[in-house]
Each structure stands twice: as structure tokens, then as C-alpha cells.
Amino acid sequence: MANRKVTLLWYCKTPDGWRRYPVIMGGNGRIKHGYVKAGHYPEGRYELRLYEGTKPVYKRAGDHAADALAARDRETHLLTTKDAASKAGVKVIEEAGRLYLRRAALNFEEDAKNRHALEAAEVNRLVTEEFLAVTGLTFADEVTRDHVFKFHRALRARGLGDRTVSNKHKRLRSFLLYCKLDCKAILPPTPKYDATLPNKYTLEQMGSILAVADPYMRMVIELGLMTGLRDQEIMHVEWADISWAESTLRVTSKKHWGFKIKDSEERDIPIPVELLAHLQDWRKAHPDSRLVLPTSGHKPNGKLLRMLKRLVKAHGLNCGHCEGCQSKLGECQDWTLHKLRRTYGTTMLQNGVDLRTVQHYLGHSDIESTMRYLSPASTQESQAKVNAIQWRK
């Protein structure tokens, strides 16, 4: 019987000449580009190894990981189909121009990264990976309404709540639109859920994470918590943005880093006294850096979200039940940089800062976005106010 195995290889230049090695896959199911068991050899290309009888045959699979994975999936799908067709006495004619879902998923994730939407990129990856794992599909034109329902059932079988299922459905819709599919024909209605209160960190959670954070991550967390900056804004804060005399932080675009602020509107944010003191100490310790939170190479750090999740995991602060906790990486979805921003907005409103001012500090273009951070007062706060009401003479 013919060997139908398809192996993805990295054909690379080594000190001993050009060699072929199987690629190494990361825990997230993606290729570790340029890495093989023998070491790191960045110069090379991807190839597929197939067999004609017992003779190995090598096919080029491109220079990029996304192309290589798509090529591997195509060959595997084609060989499986040919075997089934051969048994049935049918001849298979290969089709060109069909969109591979795995390749589209990788491009969908990269698109979000290119827009500097790091958390969106992470969510895109999780949703598309699970959809592909549940459905086992190869091509975009194979997706049907039944596959979407199957995806919903798999999510609920893992104990995910209605809101999470609804959010993943919306993300899947974005992916299918990205694939240029007819979502009106494919997608069922978005699953409904009961509205919940704004999701923010508790004082206990903040105390726990700050207690175990190293100085670098402590500064990341405090900037997000006490100024409400977006992920990309934290990455690109420079010392020149801080007015020490006025205790303010100016959020601006950075053309030299290729960073543009959302809605193109600069804003000044007041810096709390506690954070200002920590920033002054941090500045003294890092007098030569342009950025407040640079990488070791003095560039914007695009891995702040991953660093936060790894910190949480290392110190046992994961929630233990979300999709991220259950994944191979074990990185909790309940901990995000954007949740620091939500905590900032909600805390400001609960402490009497007016809605329009909070809108300005958060950089929202419309008041409705800020109103999502409004939440009812706690039972204890309401009880005190109710007790103070004079109900009769």
C-alpha cells in the first residue's frame, strides 16, 4: 500500500550544507519559523515530503508558514480524497482557486496584528482554531449552517456561558466575512444572552497581581489601571508625553513608530500622585530610554499581553475555567490589558467623575461607548442612601 503521509519540512542552510528537517510546531499549533531540532537556521524554504510508492518526493511549499500549512492541508486532503475515490472507482480532478480555511485563519489573525489589535488577534486565533478543530473542514466553501450549529454545541459542551458563545459567534461571523462567504445564507441568528454588569478587576485581584509583579510589569499594570490607556497606547508612551509639572500624560500618535491614535484625537489624562511617584522612580532607573516601557532593544513591546498572562499563570491567579485556562497554553482569558481600561473607566464613574470627562480621558468618540462603563451602585452604597431618605414628616 502506498505511503500517504505528508510531512512538512524546513529545507535550510546549515554549517554542514543544505539539510531537510521536520518543522517544529508551537503549543499554539503554529510553526516555529526557522527552528528545527538541530538548531535555528533562518535561511531556507518549506517543502512537503510525499511518497510515490517507496520513493520520497519533495514539493516546494513556500517561504511563509501560512502558505506551508495551507499546502500541507491541501496535499493531505487531496490524498485522502484520491484514496476514497480510487476505492469507489472514481477519478479525482484537482481544483484550483479554493480558499483554505487554515491559511485564511492565519491571515485573519495577522490582519488584526497589523492593525495593532493584539487582543483581537488572540481571540481570532482561539475562535478559528476551535472552529477548524470541531468541524474538520479544509475549504471555506465547505462551511454550512450545520457546521456553525456544531460549533455552538461544542462550546456549550465545554461549559461556556451564553454570552461567551454569542461573542465567539460574532467573531466567527467576522472570519467568514473575511473569507468572503455569504453569511446571510450560512449563519444562524446570533445566540442571545442576559446582559451582565461591567467586567472589571476587583481590588483583591489588583492587590494579588501587583504583589507578584516585577517592576516592569508593575509599571505596565499601573499605567493601564490608573490612566485607562489602550494596549497600543501603553506600548508607545514616551517620557516626552509626561508633564511632570502638570501631572498629566498626553496621548499622541508616533509617526516614527508607525503608531496612530484611535480617532486621531490627542488627549491629556491626569496622572494620580501615586503613579507619578512610581514613574519618577522608573525614570531614574532608566535614564537612556525614549519609551517608558521599551523592549531590551529599545523598541515598543508588542508582547505585553502575553507577559501579563504568563505572570498570572506562573503565580496561580488563573480563573481555571475559561477557554484560555483549558487550552494548551493555559493562559487565562479573564486577565487582559483592556480589562485594566474597563476598570479605570468604571472606577472613575463610580467615584463621581462626570460622564463627559471620562469620555475624554478614555478617548471615546461617542458617549454611548463610555456609558457601557456605568454600573449600578453596590447594595451597601444603595442601602446607605436609602436609609438617608426622609420618607415622611
In a shared domain, residues 152 and 241: no
Domain CATH for 365? 1.10.443.10
Confidence grade of residue 143 (pLDDT, cut at 50, 70, 90)? very high
Q: What is the three-class DSSP state of 70? A: helix
309 CB-near residues (< 8 Å, 6+ apart): 324, 331, 332, 335
Residue 170 lies in a domain: yes
Residue 93 lies in a domain: no
Report which of residues 149 and 86 the model is more confident about. 149
Instruction: Check whether 12 has a pLDDT greater than 80.
Output: yes
Domain end (from 121, 152, 186): 186
In a shared domain, residues 229 and 365: yes
Would you say 6 and 23 are in contact if contact means Cβ atoms under 8 Å apart? no
Residue 215 lies in a domain: yes
Backbone angles phi, psi at 25, to 5 degrees: -100, 140
Residue 301 lies in a domain: yes
Report which of residues 227 and 5 the model is more confident about. 227
Angle subtended at Cα 123 by Cα 163 and Cα 109, rounded to the nearest 5 degrees: 145
pLDDT in tens, 194-232: 766 568 899 999 999 999 999 999 999 999 999 999 999
Say which amino acid occupies 210.
L
In a shared domain, residues 241 and 340: yes
In a shared domain, residues 232 and 131: no
Tally of domains within the chain = 3
Domain end (from 58, 88, 118): 88
In a shared domain, residues 130 and 31: no
In a shared domain, residues 355 and 214: yes
Q: Kind and range of the H or E element at 22?
A: strand 17-22
For the segment 362-391, the average pLDDT, to the nearest whole number, is 71
Read out DSSP for 250-310?
Answer: EE--BGGGTB--GGG--EEEEPPHHHHHHHHHHHHH-TT-SBSSB-TTSSB-TTHHHHHHH
In a shared domain, residues 210 and 180: no
For the segment 302-325, the average pLDDT, to the nearest whole number, is 91
In a shared domain, residues 169 and 224: no
Cα atoms found within 13 Å of the Cα of residue 231, Cβ hemisphere only: 20
pLDDT in tens, 104-128: 888 888 888 777 677 688 788 889 9
pLDDT in tens, 250-287: 999 998 988 888 776 799 999 999 999 999 999 999 98
In a shared domain, residues 217 and 166: no
Residue 326 lies in a domain: yes
Residue 79 lies in a domain: yes
Would you say 251 and 241 are in contact if contact means Cβ atoms under 8 Å apart? yes
For the segment 371-379, the average pLDDT, to the nearest whole number, is 67
Q: How far apart are CA 269 and CA 227, in angstroms?
A: 7
In a shared domain, residues 69 and 159: no
- pTM for the complete prediction? 0.57
In a shared domain, residues 62 and 114: no
Report which of residues 2 and 255 the model is more confident about. 255
Residue 197 lies in a domain: no
- What does the mean pLDDT of the chain come to? 86
In a shared domain, residues 71 and 107: no
Residue 68 lies in a domain: yes
Q: Give residue 1's pLDDT.
A: 44
Boundaries of domain holding 13: 7-88
